[in-house]
């Protein structure tokens, strides 16, 4: 039931982003080597811009891979659907007991009217 054409488009997009990431990493390494030689502040700022671009692009890359996996297994009943990438009425796989924050604890403490022990 999975659309092979759509999978090909996902794989093509993933490949394009992966290639761009590799190019940016190579360019950044080149800038880092030149920075070590010259200690030019402009190169340092450019390196920082490369790091930010790589970071953002890497997040997009990971998201795209996860969306492709969700789409590929969408009709598989055994597949656990991510709540981040699908509209899912199923409960989360992990059920944690609710944890009260310190603020909630303090408000409950004050509402119950408990006073601090005085020595």
Task: Please list the pLDDT of the chain residue by residue as tens digits (119 residues).
Answer: 567 777 888 889 999 999 999 999 999 999 999 998 888 888 889 999 999 999 999 999 998 998 888 878 777 777 666 666 666 555 555 555 555 566 677 777 777 775 554 44
Q: Which domain holds residue 42?
A: 4-88
Domain presence at residue 11? yes
What domain count does the chain have? 1
Domain presence at residue 101? no
| Confidence (pTM) | 0.61
**Rounded Cα–Cα distance for residues 109 and 103 (Å):** 10
The three-state secondary structure class of 3 is coil
Longest dimension (CA), the chain: 75
What residue spans of the chain are helical by DSSP H? 4-38, 41-72, 102-111
Classify each residue of 25-62 as buried b or exposed e, where b means 16 or more C-beta atoms within 10 Å of its C-beta: eeebeebeeebeeeeeeebeebbeebeeebeeeeeebe
Domain presence at residue 14? yes
Q: What is the pLDDT of residue 68?
A: 86
Domain presence at residue 105? no
Domain presence at residue 49? yes
């Amino acid at each position: 039931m999975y659309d092979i054409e759509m999978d090909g488009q996902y794989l093509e997009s993933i490949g394009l982003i992966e290639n761009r990431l590799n190019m940016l990493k190579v360019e950044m390494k080149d800038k880092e080597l030149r920075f070590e030689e010259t200690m030019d502040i402009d190169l340092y700022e450019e390196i920082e811009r490369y790091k930010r671009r790589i970071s953002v692009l890497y997040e997009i890359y990971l998201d795209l891979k996860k969306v492709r996996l969700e789409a590929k297994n969408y009709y598989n009943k055994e597949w656990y659907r991510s709540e981040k990438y699908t509209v899912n009425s199923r409960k989360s796989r992990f059920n944690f007991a609710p944890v009260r924050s310190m603020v909630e604890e303090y408000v409950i403490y004050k509402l119950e009217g408990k006073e601090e022990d005085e020595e």
